[in-house]
Amino acid sequence: MTTLPDTMSMIESDIHPAVEGVEIPDFLSESDLPSREGDRIIQFREALREAMAEEMRRDERVFLLGEEVAQYNGAYKVSQGMLDEFGPERIIDTPISENGFAGMAIGAAMCGLRPIVEFMSWSFSLVAADPILNNAPKMLYMSGGQFGCPIVFRGNDGAGGQLGSTHSWCVEGLFSNVPGLKMAIPSNPYDAKGLLATAIRDPDPVFFLESERMLGDKAHVPEEHYFIPFGRARLAREGDAVTLVSFGRPVNFCLDAAEVLANDGIECDVLDMRTIRPLDIDSIVDSIKKTNKIVVVDQCWPFGSVASEVIAQICEHGFDWLDAPPVRVNTIDVPTPYAKDLEYAYLPNPERIATAVRELVGATV
Amino acid sequence: MTQAPAQKHSSTDSTMTSEPSTELKLKWLRDMQLIREFENRTAQAYQQAKIGGFCHVYTGQEACAVGTIGSINDDDPVVTAYRDHGHALARGMTPEACMAEMYGKITGCAKGKGGSMHMFDRPNWLFGGHGIVGAQTPLGAGLAFAAKYEHDVMKKRVDGSEAKKKVTLCYLGDGAIDQGAFHEALNYVSVHNIPVIYIIENNGYSMGTAINRHTANSGNLISRGESYGIDSLEIDGLDIVELYKGFKPYVESCRENSRPGFVDLKTYRYQGHSMSDPQKYRTKDEVDEYKAKDSIARLASQLMESGDLSEDDWKSMQKAIRDEVMSAMQAAEDAPTPELSELITDVYANPEKNLSPQTTYTHGARNPLL
Ligand SMILES: Cc1ncc(C[n+]2csc(CCOP(=O)(O)OP(=O)(O)O)c2C)c(N)n1
Ligand SMILES: [Mg+2]
Backbone torsions φ then ψ of A14, nearest 5 degrees:
-65, -45
Please give the average per-residue pLDDT across B129-136, as a whole number. Answer: 98
Same domain, A63 and A162: yes
Q: What is the pLDDT of residue A193?
A: 98
Domain boundary among A168, A188, A220: A220
What is the 3 state secondary structure string of A124-162?
Answer: HHHHHHHHHHHHHHHHHHHCCCCCCCCCEEEEECCCCCC
Task: Please give the distance, rounded to the nearest whole angstrom, from the Cα atom of residue B54 to the centre of ligand 1.
Answer: 11
Residue of A162, A333, A341 lying closest to B337 (CB–CB): A341
A19 vs A1: CA distance, rounded Å: 29
pLDDT of residue A1: 66
Q: Is the pLDDT of residue B11 over 50?
A: no
> Tell me, what CATH number does A140's domain have?
3.40.50.970
Shortest Cα distance, chain A CAs vs residue B48, angstroms: 15
pLDDT at res. A363: 61
Q: Find the A204 Cα to ligand 2 centroid distance in Å.
A: 36
- Amino acid identity of residue A183, one-letter, is M
pLDDT of residue A29: 97
Q: Determine contact, residues A152/A119, Cβ cutoff 8 Å.
A: no
3-state secondary structure of B211: helix
Contact at 8 Å (CB) between A39 and A239? no
Q: Are residues A208 and A347 in the same domain?
A: no
Which pLDDT value is given to residue B16? Answer: 60
Same domain, residue pair A280 and A346: yes
* C-beta contacts of B337-341 below 8 A and 24+ residues apart: B337/A339, B337/A340, B337/A341, B337/B104, B337/B105, B337/B106, B337/B112, B338/A337, B338/A339, B338/A341, B338/A342, B338/B104, B338/B105, B338/B106, B338/B111, B338/B112, B338/B113, B338/B365, B339/B106, B339/B364, B340/A341, B340/A342, B340/A345
In order along its 365 residues, chain A shows pLDDT tens digits of 678 999 999 999 999 999 999 999 999 999 999 999 999 999 999 999 999 999 999 999 999 999 999 999 999 999 999 999 999 999 999 999 999 999 999 999 999 999 999 999 999 999 999 999 999 999 999 999 999 999 999 999 999 999 999 999 999 999 999 999 999 999 999 999 999 999 999 999 999 999 999 999 999 999 999 999 999 999 999 999 999 999 999 999 999 999 999 999 999 999 999 999 999 999 999 999 999 999 999 999 999 999 999 999 999 999 999 999 999 999 999 999 999 999 999 999 999 999 999 999 996 44
C-alpha of residue A4 to centroid of ligand 1, in Å: 53
> Residue A105: what are its φ and ψ, rounded to 5°?
-65, -35
pLDDT at B8 over 80: no
Domain boundary among A220, A242, A264: A220
Same structural domain for residues A242 and A164?
no
Residues 199-218, chain B: which have Cβ within 8 Å of A? 206-209, 213-215
* A77 contact partners, CB below 8 Å, separation of at least 6: A45, A215
Query: Closest approach of chain B CAs to the CA of A205, in angstroms?
Result: 24
Backbone angles phi, psi at B185, to 5 degrees: -65, -45
Does residue A292 lie within any of the structural domains? yes
Closest CA to A68 of B229, B236, B70, B207: B207
Residue type, B334: D
Whether residues A271 and A154 fall in one domain? no
Radius of gyration of chain A, Cα coordinates, nearest whole angstrom: 21
Using the atom order of ligand 1, give the atom closest to the CA of residue A127.
1
What was the pLDDT predicted at B276?
86
Q: How far from B113 is each of A32, A90, A117, A158, B344, CA to CA, in Å?
A: 48, 40, 31, 17, 11
- What radius of gyration do chain B's Cα atoms show? 21
Nearest CA to ligand 1 atom 25: B132
Residues A195 and A53 in one domain: yes
Show which of residues 328-367 on chain B sit within 8 Å of chain A, judged by CB atoms: 337-338, 340, 342-344, 347, 356-359, 361
Would residue A1 count as lying in a domain? no
What is the residue range of A272's domain? 234-364
User: What single-letter DSSP state applies at residue B342?
Assistant: G
A96 at interface of B, judged by CB pairs closer than 8 A = yes
- The pocket around ligand 1, CB under 6 angstroms, is made up of A 67, 96, 98, 120, 124, 127; B 56, 83, 131-133, 173-176, 201, 203, 205-207, 273
> Mind listing the pLDDT tens digit for each residue in B237-246?
999 999 999 9
A127 — contact with chain B (CB < 8 Å)? Answer: yes
Across the range B258-263, mean pLDDT stands at 98
The residue ranges of DSSP E strands in chain A, in sequence order, are 41-43, 62-66, 91-93, 114-121, 152-156, 182-184, 206-210, 218-220, 234-237, 242-246, 268-272, 275-277, 294-297, 327-329
- At residue B306, the pLDDT reads 97
Cβ proximity of A353 and A297 under 8 Å: yes
Q: CA of B150: how far to CAs of A99, A305, B34, B137, B254, in Å?
A: 34, 41, 35, 20, 17
User: Is residue B83 less than 8 Å (CB to CB) from chain A?
Assistant: no
Total domains in the fold of chain A: 2
CA atoms within 13 A on the CB side of A271: 27
- For residue A19, the SS3 value is coil
Residue A167 a catalytic site member: yes
Domains of chain B, each with CATH number or no CATH: 8-344 (3.40.50.970)
Ligand 1 nearest-atom number relative to CA B132: 26
Assigned domain for A16 exists: no
**Is the pLDDT confidence value at B137 over 90?**
yes
Of residues A39, A75, A24, A41, the one with CA closest to residue A197: A24
User: Which residues from B are below 8 Å from A340, CB to CB?
Assistant: 52, 104, 337
Whether the bond into A278 is cis, omega within 30 of 0: yes
Which residues sit with Cβ closer than 5 angstroms to ligand 2, an ion?
B 173-174, 203, 205
Q: Which residues of A touch B332 (CB under 8 A)?
A: none
What does the alpha-carbon distance between residue B230 and residue B195 come to, in Å, rounded to a whole number?
Answer: 11
| Strand ranges inside chain B, DSSP E | 78-79, 168-173, 196-202, 205-206, 209-210, 232-236, 261-266
Average pLDDT estimate for B216-228:
98
Q: pTM of the entire structure?
A: 0.96
Pair (A321, A176) in one structural domain: no
| CB atoms A162 and B115 under 8 Å | yes
Confidence band (pLDDT; 50, 70, 90) for B17? confident
What is residue B172's three-state secondary structure? strand
Does residue A124 share a domain with residue A256? no
- Tell me, yes or no, whether A97 lies in a domain: yes
- Whether residue A15 lies inside any domain: the answer is no
A142 within domain boundaries:
yes
- In this structure, the answer to whether residues A124 and A266 fall within a common structural domain is no
Domain end residue (candidates: A193, A220, A247):
A220
User: What mean pLDDT do residues B10-17 have?
Assistant: 50
pLDDT higher than threshold 80 for residue B110: yes
Is there a contact between A279 and A330 (Cβ–Cβ < 8 Å)?
A: no
Same domain as A212, residue A309: no
Specify the pLDDT at position A321.
97
**What mean pLDDT comes out for the span B132-147?**
98
* CA separation for the pair B3, A99 (Å, rounded): 29
% of chain B with per-residue pLDDT over 90: 94
Cβ-defined contact of A96 to B206 (cutoff 8 Å): yes
Instruction: Give, rounded to a whole angstrom, the gap between the first and last alpha carbons of chain B.
Output: 43
Among candidates A96, A166, A335 on the partner chain, residue whose Cβ is nearest the Cβ of B131: A166
Binned at pLDDT 50, 70 and 90, residue B2 comes out as very low
Beta-strand runs (E) in B267-353: none
* Contact pairs from chain A to chain B, CB under 8 Å: 140
In tens, the pLDDT along A228-271 reads 999 999 999 999 999 999 999 999 999 999 999 999 999 999 99
Do residue A183 and residue A253 come from a single domain? Answer: no
Q: Are strands A268-272 and A242-246 parallel, antiparallel or unpaired?
A: parallel
Average pLDDT taken over every residue of chain B:
95
Q: Is residue A322 part of a domain?
A: yes
CB contact under 8 A, A93 and B209: yes
Would an 8 Å CB–CB cutoff place B56 in contact with chain A? no
Residue B9 has pLDDT above 50, yes or no: no
Determine whether A98 is an active site residue. Answer: yes
Interface of B with A in 219-278 (CB under 8 A): none
- B200-205 average pLDDT score: 98
Q: How far apart are CA B168 and CA A274, in angstroms?
A: 48
Distance CA B360, CA B284 (A): 54
Co-location of A130 and A248 in the same domain: no
B281 touches chain A (CB under 8 A): yes
A10 assigned to some structural domain: no
Q: Tens digit of pLDDT for each residue in B76-108?
A: 999 999 999 999 999 999 999 999 999 999 999
Predicted confidence band at B5 (pLDDT cuts at 50, 70, 90)?
Answer: very low
